[in-house]
Amino acid sequence: MATAVATAPLAGHEAVAARYLEVDPVYAETRSIRLLGFVFFLLSDCVLFGAFIFAYVYLRISAPTWPPFVGNHRLPWFDTAFAALNSIVLFGSGVTMHFALENWKHLNRQKFYRWLIATIILGLGFLLGQAHEWTGVLRGGVTWPGSTMGASFFTLTGMHGFHVFVGVCYLTVLGLQARRGIYTGSKYFGLTAGTLYWHFVDVIWVVLFTLFYVW
């Protein structure tokens, strides 16, 4: 009698939870390989940014004066303050993405969607802020186009902005996939990869903000 009870199928939400937490053996075996491949992808992106950052630092150190043109100076303090505020928006999105992944791990799907949507909105807010800053710099009489400083600024911040845009699209796709039931409580590598990518974008911005607004 006890054996019959122990082997009886689960009913209702217990059966759903059991399927949700069921481990896919193929996924379990390949997860570490997928993670390693994604880490190599992020490292290749680090090489890309690192090459441009090294070139900027070298040109700046070797220049007799900086900025390397007459009649200009650093960005005005209000542009730096706006960039700092925009940075807080981006770093806040890193926090919300962390909570999104943690809630998925703990099977809080509704909270996951709320945190993910918050991350996407903050990412879009950062992009709008960067677009506003670019138009302000170009309209403000700053003679950066054609200069070493201007080329470095627009290239690096533009590359970073493109990565943020790709990240927003990526997170949107992840949310749609989660809605379709592609991810489960034990199978969610896509969400992990999305979180790692978003944190990578945050780290790169720390470096760029230091180079162009602090240094």
Q: Are 181 and 80 in contact (CB under 8 A)?
A: no
Domain map (residue ranges) of the chain: 12-214
Indicate the residue type of 171.
L
Indicate the residue type of 212.
F
Q: What's the token pair of residue 96?
A: 């919300």
CATH of 12-214, one of 2.60.40.1180, 1.20.1260.10, 1.20.120.80, 3.10.300.10: 1.20.120.80
- Chain mean position to CA 188: 17
**Angstrom distance (rounded) from CA 28 to CA 157:** 38
Bigger pLDDT: 155 vs 68: 155
- What's the pLDDT band for 12 if we cut at 50, 70, 90? very low
Rounded percentage of the chain residues whose pLDDT exceeds 90:
56
Whether 48 has a pLDDT exceeding 80, the answer reads yes
**How many Cα neighbours within 13 Å face the side chain of 109?**
13
pLDDT tens digits, residue range 175-207? 999 999 899 888 899 999 999 999 999 999 999
pLDDT tens digits, residue range 80-92? 888 999 999 999 9
